[in-house]
Amino acid sequence: MKNTEKYRTVIEPFKIKSVEPIRMTTRQERENILAQAGLNPFMIKSQDVIIDFLTDSGTSAMSAAQWGAIMVGDEAYAGARSFYRFQEKVQDIFGFPIVIPTHQGRAAEKILFSTICGPGKFVPNNTHFDTTRANVEFAGATAVDCLTEEGKDPSLITPFKGNMDLEKLEAVIRERGAENIPVVMLTVTNNSGGGQPVSMKNIRGVSELCRKYDIPFFFDACRFAENAYFIKLREPGYASKTPLEIAREMFSYADGCTMSAKKDALVNMGGFIALRNEEWAQQFRNILIITEGFPTYGGLSGRDLEAIAQGLDEVLDEDYLHYRIISTAYLADHIAELGVPILQPPGGHAVYVDAKAMCPHIPIEQYPGQAIVCGLYLEGGVRAVEIGSVMFGTYDESGKLIPAPLELVRLAIPRRVYTQSHMDYVVEVFEELVRNRDALRGVRIVKEAPVLRHFTAQFEYV
Ligand code: F0G
């Protein structure tokens, strides 16, 4: 294998054909911008951001081949050639015969859960992503997270911290009754748990339990290629398999998946549901036609379907995946060397800073994660997102904050967008931040929405 040449720099395995300028800002400008945004980076214009680590979703750089495919998109309302190319590619990788396009991941979730869930139903998952949980709950059912205990320990280094706790899963099935569990979901990689992978052994274990109790098993497949590559690197018996072979094996144990193509299909918009059960598919298509569109385009243009088909090929390229995983670890290792406490080991798509450990001088009620997010922006125009008590905190009857279990800051890395020198720049920003960490200040919320407050909340320094 070419990329075992570990003594060499892992270069970006692409040449840059098209560029998007980054506007440089001064610290003084950023102070004004952040103040105007109410200390909330979601409210900052992207043109005022130097390095944007808000999300890896929909932010990928497309390849020349994807842009080329866009030009040949067939925009027929029904039976477009582009749909058949897309369908064939999904069938080839995922192995599910039925493929239903949607405009993004949460639209696939909405269709799945609104069909099969309802009051009195329970959906287990290693960890529900927030839109997944919201769609389960919106359908009247209860979302249950069954992550292993080791997955909850930020500093523990083990290979598969995204694994489902099989004992917990079986206990939930017994307690709630298999007839009340319409589906078991497994999120690969586990985004909300730090982008940690799930092992093939664990996938097999979930599958066996689902067979035993006759419960359908679905993947939340957003980052399936990154998960497949972690299996190749870390699980005995997989080193000589290709990412495609590993992905095929992963999905062979399941009955279907929801997918946000905005991650591991390397596109800016798109998603799908793929499955084996024709009866469910009929019901899904009925909702699809009302909410998304005709089953051969489902909320997407023909050109989007082309770009997804091409992206799914490219994402499984081993040189790409090697660069992807190594470049995330590069950022993680370098900021960890500076003494920044991070969630270990680094995940596939993001680096998570443990804000509580980095800023012990800021009480939880003053949101240490938000303080770091503000510091990153002021110091270097780096946009990150708080994943802690701003995002998941609630209040008790007396109005006291019930904090989230962890106070994290996520640096999500867009695919194929930034080079190693961009990463070096972010490391330098962290160096400065660590040097002045005592100067980071806590914040209080001055305005917030009743749900998903992190998007629009306004803050001021305490
Ligand atoms: N499932 C997971 C695991 C996700 O990470 C996301 C999106 C979705 C489902 C929903 O997909 O955005 O296409 O509707 N995650 C993005 C993020 C938004 O920033 O982590 P979507």
Domain that holds residue 250: 64-314
Residues 400 and 449 both lie in one domain:
yes
- On the 0-12 / 13-18 / 19+ scale of CB atoms within 10 A, 181 is buried
- Are 102 and 223 in a shared domain? yes
What are 214-230's pLDDT values in tens digits? Answer: 999 999 999 999 999 99
Total Cβ atoms within 10 A of residue 71: 8
Looking at ligand 1, which atom is closest to the CA of residue 349? Answer: 20
- Please give the number of the atom of ligand 1 that sits closest to the Cα of 107: 14
Q: Are 144 and 108 contained in the same domain?
A: yes
Pocket test for ligand 1, best of 263, 291, 385, 392 (most atoms within 8 A of CB): 263
- Return the residue whose CA atom lies nearest to atom 16 of ligand 1: 57
Q: Does residue 303 share a domain with residue 243?
A: yes
**Ligand 1 atom 18: the closest Cα is on which residue?**
57
Same domain membership, residue 321 and residue 291: no
Contact 314, 65 (CB under 8 A): yes
Q: Both 68 and 214 in a single domain?
A: yes
Give the mean pLDDT of the chain.
96
* Structural contact between residues 25 and 355, judged by C-beta atoms closer than 8 angstroms: no
Q: What percent of the chain has pLDDT over 70?
A: 98
From ligand 1's centre to the CA of 223, what distance in Å?
Answer: 10
Q: Where are the beta strands (DSSP E) in 214-356?
A: 217-220, 256-260, 271-275, 350-354
Asked whether 10 and 414 are in contact (CB, 8 A), the reply is: no
Kindly tell me if the per-residue pLDDT of 270 is higher than 90: yes
**pLDDT at res. 6:** 59
List the residue whose alpha carbon is closest to atom 13 of ligand 1. 105
User: From the CA of 5, how far away is ligand 1's center (Å)?
Assistant: 34
One domain, residues 23 and 100 = no
Average pLDDT over residues 97-115: 98
Residue nearest to atom 4 of ligand 1 (CA): 129
The dihedral built from the CA positions of residue 1, 161, 191 and 85, taken in this order, carries a sign that is positive
Please give the angle made by the CA atoms of 111, 121 and 290, to the nearest 5 degrees: 20
Q: What is the CATH number of the domain that holds 94?
A: 3.40.640.10
| Token pair in block for residue 375 | 């510091």
Nearest Cα residue to atom 19 of ligand 1: 55
Is the bond leading into 345 cis (omega within 30 degrees of zero)? yes
State whether residue 427 is helix, strand or coil: helix
In this structure, the answer to whether residues 403 and 435 fall within a common structural domain is yes
Residue that finishes a domain, picked among 258, 280, 314:
314
Q: Which helix (DSSP H) or strand (DSSP E) does residue 369 occupy?
A: helix 368-380
C-alpha 82 – ligand 1 centre gap (Å): 24
Residue of the CA atom closest to atom 2 of ligand 1: 129
Ligand 1 pocket check: which of 104, 222, 391 to mutate, most ligand atoms within 8 Å of Cβ?
222
Element holding 132 (H helix, E strand): helix 130-138
For residue 271, report the distance from its CA to the centre of ligand 1, in Å.
10
Within this chain, do residues 94 and 42 fall inside the same structural domain, yes or no? Answer: no
Is 1 exposed, middle or buried (CB count within 10 Å of its CB: 0-12, 13-18, 19+)? exposed
Question: CB within 6 Å of ligand 1 — which residues?
Answer: 55, 57, 104-106, 129, 131-132, 187, 191, 220, 222, 260, 262, 271, 412
**Span 410-436, average pLDDT:** 97
185, β-bridge pairs: 218
Structure tokens at 315: 């994402």
Query: Residue written as tokens 């930034």?
Result: 418
Distance, CA of 274 to CA of 107 (rounded, Å): 13
How many whole angstroms separate alpha carbon 428 and alpha carbon 382?
11
Query: Nearest C-alpha to atom 11 of ligand 1 is from which residue?
Result: 105
- pLDDT tens digits for 276-332? 999 999 999 999 999 999 999 999 999 999 999 999 999 999 999 999 999 999 999
Kindly report the backbone phi and psi dihedral angles of residue 392, in degrees, each rounded to the nearest multiple of 5, phi listed first. -115, 0
Same domain membership, residue 355 and residue 271: no
Q: Of 314, 349, 364, which residue is a domain's last?
A: 314
pLDDT of 132 higher than 60? yes
- Same structural domain, 337 and 453: yes
Helical axes 27-36 vs 368-380, angle rounded to 10°: 140
Is pTM beyond 0.75? Reply is: yes
256 and 394 share a domain? Answer: no
CATH of the domain at 372: 3.90.1150.10
The domain tally of the chain equals 2
Alpha carbon distance 89, 76 (integer Å) = 19
Tokens of 131: 């839109």
Q: How far is the CA of 110 from the centre of ligand 1 (A)?
A: 13
Domain closes at, from 314, 341, 370: 314
CA 105 / ligand 1 centre spacing (Å): 6
